[in-house]
Amino acid sequence: MTVCKQPVATLALNATSSYVVMIRVWGRGRLLIRKSKNTMEHNNYDIAVLLATYNGGKYIWEQLESLFQQSCKQFHLYVRDDGSSDDTMKIVEQFHGMFPDRVTILKDSQKHRGAAKSFMYLLENVDSEYYMFCDQDDIWLLEKIEKTLARMKEIEKAVADAPKVVMDGTAAKNVPILVATDLGIVDEQLNLLSESFNKDLKIDVFRKHPELICVRHVVTGCTMMFNRAAKLAALPMSPRATMHDEWVALCVHFKGGVISILDDSTILYRQHTSNTLGAEQARKGFFARAIARAGQKQFFQVAKLLHKDFGLSYLKFLMYKILYSWF
């Protein structure tokens, strides 16, 4: 296959910003669609990147370019579409044609699952050592996978060397581990709005008080990498859960796992009218957003999720809400 070679365009988001995004213009390759069987897809690479799409044609080309320009190439991309009516899948198929051994399109008999269930479908049907959620409209900075994987390996070594693991008879590979990173927030034209989402979230408070995860959004799905043990801890997703990334993070936290957050921004989170929650609302977290949307009824539904699925008492949930409301 011949790829049209064109100059690489460099987008400097801000004169004072450290973000430089390399966007390469690829030629239009031949189309090759590999249909996946309705069985578990095994990943021969270390990392499975899970991309759930829906009418993302406006931005997905840039996202996929940034993915395949990563410094770390140890990944395979798995895509599930939720019934797009635009050119999203045509673009995905073009990248499939350019990287036929590194892109798999999963077919699903159920057309519309919604974002959370679409991501969880991918997670259920792909076997890998590590997993990363990928949104369709962001841009991954060049060392995103490399930096996140390096931290994952550091934690794995620390867990393996920990006396508690030996005493409990728990193999290190069975400890759920989740690594997340900081992110930069940009507008539709990639103009920088915030260099550090973690600073906006006051993430250092979470490092001192991990229980804050019960009432505050502290990890963002598009920055996460987690291991197979974390996947197993998170399956199946509770019918009471509404957000896939929050659910995985809660499962890692409550099931004795490790959550580590890098201060490096590894992604440009694109804020636009189509991503309904966006960074401004995301900082309030899954729980606070739910309460804001549906008031007291939803508040008790969240409390019920934490109580039924993780054994957190209603009183303790209320205490956390009051205690951390001022952060």
What percentage of the chain reaches a pLDDT higher than 70?
Answer: 76
DSSP state letters, 229-274: HHHHHH-SPPTT---HHHHHHHHHHHTT-EEEEEEEEEEEEE--TT
DSSP state letters, 194-212: ES-HHHHHTHHHHHH-GGG
Residue 120 has pLDDT above 60, yes or no: yes
Residue 223 has pLDDT above 80, yes or no: yes
> What's the pLDDT score for residue 45?
73
> What's the pLDDT score for residue 111?
87
Instruction: Count Cβ atoms below 10 Å from residue 320 Cβ, excluding itself.
Output: 20
Helix (H, G, I), strand (E, B) or coil at 185: strand
- 182-202 tens-digit pLDDT: 999 999 999 999 999 998 877
- 54-108 tens-digit pLDDT: 999 999 999 999 999 999 999 999 999 999 999 999 999 999 999 999 999 999 9
Confidence bin at 8 (pLDDT 50/70/90): very low
For 112: left if phi > 0, alpha if psi spans -120 to 50, otherwise beta; the answer is: beta
Confidence bin at 135 (pLDDT 50/70/90): very high
Confidence bin at 245 (pLDDT 50/70/90): very high
CA count, 13 A, side-chain hemisphere, 281: 14
Return d(Cα 17, Cα 12) in angstroms, integer.
8
Return d(Cα 294, Cα 276) in angstroms, integer.
16
Q: Domain residue spans in the chain?
A: 8-31+44-324
> What's the pLDDT score for residue 30?
26
Instruction: Count Cβ atoms below 10 Å from residue 153 Cβ, excluding itself.
Output: 11
How high is the mean pLDDT of the chain? 82
Residues making up the chain, counted from first to last: 327
> What's the pLDDT score for residue 168?
59
Question: What's the chain's Rg over C-alpha atoms?
Answer: 20
Confidence bin at 231 (pLDDT 50/70/90): very high
- 269-306 tens-digit pLDDT: 999 876 634 444 444 444 444 444 444 567 788 899 99
Q: pLDDT: is 23 or 303 the higher one?
A: 303
> What's the pLDDT score for residue 293?
44
Q: Is the dihedral of CA 295, 297, 298, 302 positive or negative?
A: positive
What percentage of the chain reaches a pLDDT higher than 90?
Answer: 63
Residue 238 has pLDDT above 90, yes or no: yes
> What's the pLDDT score for residue 23?
33
Return d(Cα 320, Cα 316) in angstroms, integer.
6
Give me the CATH topology for the region 8-31+44-324.
Spore Coat Polysaccharide Biosynthesis Protein SpsA; Chain A (3.90.550)
> What's the pLDDT score for residue 165?
61
Residue 321 has pLDDT above 70, yes or no: yes
